[in-house]
Amino acid sequence: MNFKNTLVAVAAFGAATLAVAAPTVSNVRMIQPTGSRNVTIKYKLTEDAVVTLEVFTNAVPYAAEGWASIGGEAVCTAQGAVWRKVTSADADGSGDYTIVWRPIDTWKDDQGNCLNVEDGCAKAVVTAWALDNTPDYMVVDISTGTQPDTQRYYPAVEFLPGSEPGQRGAITNNPIYKTSKLVMRKIMAKDIEWTMGSSSQETDRHKYGRENTRQLSLTNNYYIAVFETTQAQWSLVSSKRPNPSYFNNAAYKAYRPVEQVCYNEIRMADDSTSANGGAEEWPGRPYPGSFLALLSDRTGIDFDLPTEAQWEFAARAGHGSPFWNDGSAILGGKNDANLSLLGRYVYNGGWLDSATTVSAQNCDTANGTAAVGSYPPNSWGLYDMHGNVCEWCIDWFRNVLTAENGYYPPDDHGTPIAKEYRDYDGRAVRGGSFGGLTADARDSFGNAGNCRPAYRQQKGPQYRESYVGFRVVCPADFSN
């Protein structure tokens, strides 16, 4: 990278973390040997941790102030004891942990030229994250032959390999994140009190009380997929019905959300036509052979469907009622100009017109379902939380009319609705959709009023529809 071929910087950084016993980094050294294009970073580590890297520069050698990050996209390709769980087995005989960074590949000026850095004008910051407080982004390889527990962690979206410099959400341009990898976003929900449901003043609030408000405080942080599960991801994992979707024409299918998959085959037994799938109820593990069980076995991570509370908390992204999840106001009704910018629904491509059939044969991603990530993310970096396809949640569906009883189980932590509390033989679906292939589906799931964070509906766990898909969640605590 045309660094000075001497010591580039010396920096020490103690980990900042919420854990009681914080892992600590010390004795950080960054050196580029004479004649080498590789930069070697060595450090000491007190205990097992997830390790990330950032590099800073300064115009004045060894100055105390004025340091600026060179950006995550410039260091994300570093190799070695970084971007993952690092253990004592990674240390060399001297107790050092090693990162190798090749800046010539990723750090250039606007004309693509290599940069020169004076001695003392660059420093490495190595951060150790406790295993119960891992970074905001986790990338999980789900391709065939993947070994368990090989996920990678990054502190922000711009650190993800393949992201474009300076572009928020540029992961949408990298096909691997819609095919062979899952990008998971950590949601800091633990002990945060919030209001689930919608106020009586919210436009299009469900008239039968399905959206009664309730104060909740979730007990754990969690990761949720930034994209809805795609057809390519389903096909990589599922050993049954590898191509189940309606919009499965070869030219467009890979990046579209998988649909026409029922709750039972996602989480339960292979008996996908029965009401309960023949498997153990939550909180039991997903049934062997189901999509989620196969995904968990392959990756070593306990994946599942979100609870309704997890889904709505993530969809709101810190915004209350009545707002879309980017903070813009909900206008409501069938057609909403604000929603048109945020997700696929009936009136921005979900349905052509009454004389045109939306079919697998004639429908590119301008109509029907959109490729995941086609619209901007919400404030927490999640895509398609409004529209595209409705998403299965783990809860049985409950519908009551009085806020005193609540429409969730008798606790204040968003525990999934169990069988004994259900009002219907259906599972909850959330998020609205492109509209479906029938007038009833379009009116029930595809209008703007159906794409609000609080909107709830239910489908029998054995049903498959062209407008129902899902996204996955997993715990954010990897300390056990």
Residue 355 has pLDDT above 90, yes or no: no
CATH architecture of the region 143-480? Alpha-Beta Complex (3.90)
pLDDT in tens, 38-48: 999 999 999 99
Residue 7 has pLDDT above 70, yes or no: no
Residue 364 has pLDDT above 80, yes or no: yes
Q: Is the dihedral of CA 256, 260, 262, 266 positive or negative?
A: negative
Residue 17 has pLDDT above 50, yes or no: no
Question: What pLDDT shows up at residue 399?
Answer: 77
Percent of the chain with pLDDT over 90: 59
Question: What pLDDT shows up at residue 163?
Answer: 55
Q: How many residues belong to the chain?
A: 480
Contact 213, 196 (CB under 8 A): yes
Question: What pLDDT shows up at residue 8?
Answer: 39
39, 126, 381 from 122: Cα distances, Å: 11, 13, 30
Residue 383 has pLDDT above 70, yes or no: yes
pLDDT in tens, 97-114: 999 999 988 888 777 777
Residue with tokens 């994140």: 177
Per-residue burial over 432-457, b = 16 or more CB atoms within 10 Å of its CB, e = otherwise: bbbbbbeeebbebbbbbbbbbbbbbb
- Where residue 108 falls (left for φ over 0; alpha for ψ -120 to 50; beta otherwise) is beta
Distance CA 250, CA 264 (A): 26
Confidence of residue 275 (pLDDT cuts 50, 70, 90): low
Among 429, 427, 414, CA closest to 460: 427
Question: What pLDDT shows up at residue 377?
Answer: 93
Q: Of 117-126, 369-378, 431-440, which has the strongest mean pLDDT?
A: 369-378
List the domain boundaries for the chain.
7-133, 143-480
Number of H helices, E strands in the chain: 7, 20
> Whole-structure pTM over 0.85, yes or no?
yes
Q: Of 16-25, 130-139, 420-429, which has the strongest mean pLDDT?
A: 130-139
Distance CA 462, CA 276 (A): 8
Question: What pLDDT shows up at residue 64?
Answer: 85
What is the pLDDT of the chain when averaged over all its residues?
A: 86
Distance CA 462, CA 273 (A): 5
